[in-house]
Chains A and B, each alone.
Chain A
Amino acid sequence: MQNPAHTTLRRTRSTALFTSAVATAFAAVPQVASAGVVAPDSGASPTGDSINVLYLIVAVLGVLALLAVVASIVSAVRSPGAEGSDAGSSSAKPAVIGSVVVALALAVLGGLTLSGASTADQSASGTPTNLKVTPLQDPNLKVGHQVDLPKGPAIGVQVNGQQYLWRYTYLGKSVYSYHDLVIPVGVTVVLYVTSSDVEHNWWVPQLGSSIQAIPGYVNMGWIRADKAGTYNGASTVISGTNYQNMTTRVVAKSIADFDSWIENKTTELKDSATDLAAQKAAAEGEAK
Chain B
Amino acid sequence: MSTTAYEQPEHVAEVVVREPIEKARPTWIGRVRSADHKVIGTTLIGISLISVVVAGFLELLGWAQLSVPDNTLLTPERYYTLHTLSDTSYLYLFALPLLAGLATYVLPLQIGARSTAFPRLSAFGAWSIAFGAGALFFQLFLTQWQGGVNFNTSLAQLYYSTGAGADLWLSGVIMIGAGLTANAIDLAVTYKVMRADGMSSENTPVFAYTAAVYAYGILLTAPVLIAASLMMMLERQWDVFGIYNTVTGGDALLGKTLFGWWNNSAPYLVTLLAAGAVSEIIPVAAGTKLANAGAVKKALKFFMIFSVLSFGTVYFGGPVALGWNCVFMTLGLALLVPASVLVSSWIQTLRQGSFKSSAQGHFALRFILFFTLAMALHAALSIPTLGAWLRGSEAGYAAWHLLVWAAAATGGFGALLYWFPKITGKLFNDFKAKVACGMITIGTLIALLSMISLGLDGFPREISEYSDSLGGQARFIEAGLGTLLAAFGVIGLLINFIQSSASGSGAGNDPWHGHTLEWYAPSPPPVNNFDVTPAVDSDTPLLDIRSRIKSETAGLAGSVAQSPTSGRPSLRESKH
Q: Residues of A at under 8 Å CB distance from B? A: 35-41, 47, 50-51, 54-55, 58-59, 61-63, 65-66, 69-70, 72-73, 76-77, 79-84, 86-87, 90-92, 94-96, 98-100, 102-103, 106-107, 109-111, 113-115, 117-118, 142-146, 163, 195, 197-199, 201, 203, 205-206, 208-212, 214-217, 219, 221, 232-244
B410 to chain A, nearest CB (A): 13
Contact check, A61 vs B252: say whether CB atoms are below 8 A apart.
no
Contact check, B286 vs A81: say whether CB atoms are below 8 A apart.
yes
Task: Give the contacts of B251-305 with A (CB-CB under 8 A).
Answer: 251-253, 256, 286-288, 291-292, 295-296, 299
Q: Mark B293-337, 1 if CB is under 8 A from A, else 0.
A: 001100100000000000000000111111001100110011011
Chain B residues with CB below 8 A from A99, complex form: 336-337, 339-341
Contact check, B458 vs A92: say whether CB atoms are below 8 A apart.
no
CB-based nearest A residue for B289: A87
User: Which listed residue, A87, A100, A239, touches B337 by the CB 8 Å rule?
Assistant: A100
A24 to chain B, nearest CB (A): 16
CB-based nearest A residue for B397: A236
> Count the A-B residue pairs with Cβ separation under 8 angstroms: how many?
280
Contact check, A145 vs B154: say whether CB atoms are below 8 A apart.
no
User: Which listed residue, A82, A92, A214, touches B351 by the CB 8 Å rule?
Assistant: A82
A-B contact pairs, 7 of them (CB 8 A): A58-B379, A69-B372, A79-B351, A81-B287, A92-B299, A145-B317, A234-B460
Contact check, A51 vs B389: say whether CB atoms are below 8 A apart.
yes
Closest 9 CB pairs of A and B: A144-B319, A236-B392, A62-B376, A81-B354, A92-B295, A205-B458, A216-B246, A95-B344, A212-B318
User: Which listed residue, A59, A114, A211, A232, touches B458 by the CB 8 Å rule?
Assistant: A232
A77 to chain B, nearest CB (A): 4
Total number of B residues with any Cβ neighbor in A under 8 Å: 88
Contact check, A58 vs B351: say whether CB atoms are below 8 A apart.
no
User: Which listed residue, A66, A205, A210, touches B369 by the CB 8 Å rule?
Assistant: A66
**Contacts A107-B333, A199-B154, A215-B246 given; does A90 touch B348 at CB 8 Å:** yes
Report whether over half of chain A's contact residues are helix, strand or loop; otherwise say mixed: mixed
Q: Mark B366-392, 1 if CB is under 8 A from A, else 0.
A: 001100110111011011111011111
A142 to chain B, nearest CB (A): 7
Contact check, B318 vs A214: say whether CB atoms are below 8 A apart.
yes
**Contacts A142-B319, A241-B146 given; does A110 touch B329 at CB 8 Å:** yes
Q: Does B20 contact A (CB under 8 A)?
A: no
Contact check, B321 vs A146: say whether CB atoms are below 8 A apart.
yes
Contact check, B154 vs A95: say whether CB atoms are below 8 A apart.
no
User: Which listed residue, B329, B336, B456, touches A37 by the CB 8 Å rule?
Assistant: B456
Q: Tell which of B130-138, B199-207, B232-240, B461-469 binds the partner.
A: B461-469
**Contacts A115-B322, A144-B320, A145-B318 given; does A216 touch B252 at CB 8 Å:** yes
Contact check, A214 vs B154: say whether CB atoms are below 8 A apart.
yes
Contact check, A111 vs B458: say whether CB atoms are below 8 A apart.
no
| Complexed CA–CA distance, A209 and B389 (Å) | 7
